[in-house]
Amino acid sequence: MSDYILTYTKTIFYPLKPRIEDIKIEDIAHSLAQMARANGHFKHFYSVAQHSVNCYLEAKNLNYSKQIQLGCLLHDASEAYISDLTRPVKRNIPDYITMEERLQKLIYKKFGLEDVSDKDLLLVQEIDDVLLHYEFEELMGVSIYDNNPATVLKHDVSQKDIKEVKEQFLSCFNSLYFK
C-alpha cells in the first residue's frame, strides 16, 4: 500500500508527512463539499463545506477580523486529507488528534494564518460549537448543549447541490485570501 492519497487535482498528498506545497484550496473545497456532517446522520445531506461557509458567515456577521473569518472557513480543512472522526471516538485516539492538529497548522500556514493567536482560535472553536448546536437543533430537533448557545444568523442548512456549495466555499475563500 502507498503512503499517499491522490487528490481531486491529482496531487500526490502524504497525510502522515504533509508538504505545504501539496495543499490546494481546490482539493479542500471539492472534498469538504462531498463530506457529510454528523457522520451522515442528519435528516438530509449537509456537507462540511456548507458548515464551514456558515461558520464564516457567523464570524463575518459578528464583525470578527478577516483572519478569524478565514480561520472559520478553513477550521475543518484537514478533513479533506485525513477525513474526520466523531468527537467521542476522536478524543480517544491521541495519535489522530496529533496528526490532525499538525496538518491543520500547516493548512493555516499555507493560507497566511500561521500567526493566528490562541484567543482567535478559541473564537473559531466557539463558532464551530455554536453551529454544531444550531445544526443539531435544525436538522435533528435536539439540543446537544445545556446552555443552548445562539447563533447571530439564521443559517441555511437546507440540502444543497455539491457543486453550488463548492463554488460558495471558493467564493468565500477568494473574498478573504489576499496573499
Per-residue pLDDT of the chain (179 residues; tens, 9 = 90+): 589 999 999 999 999 999 999 999 999 999 999 999 999 999 999 999 999 999 999 999 999 999 999 999 999 999 999 999 988 999 999 999 999 999 999 999 999 999 999 999 999 999 999 999 999 999 999 988 777 777 778 899 999 999 999 999 999 999 998 65
Q: What's the CATH number where 125 sits?
A: 1.10.3210.10
Apex 150 CA angle, 145 and 118, nearest 5: 80
Closest to 32 (Cα-Cα) out of 4, 13, 51, 19: 51
Amino acid at the residue 133: H
pLDDT at 177: 81
pLDDT at 178: 63
Q: 3-class SS at 55?
A: helix
Burial code (b: 16+ CB inside 10 Å, e: under 16) for 156-168 equals ebeebeeeebbeb
> For residue 130, what are the domain limits?
5-176
Contacts of residue 145, defined as CB under 8 A and 6 or more positions apart, other chains included, come to 129, 133
Count of domains observed in the chain: 1
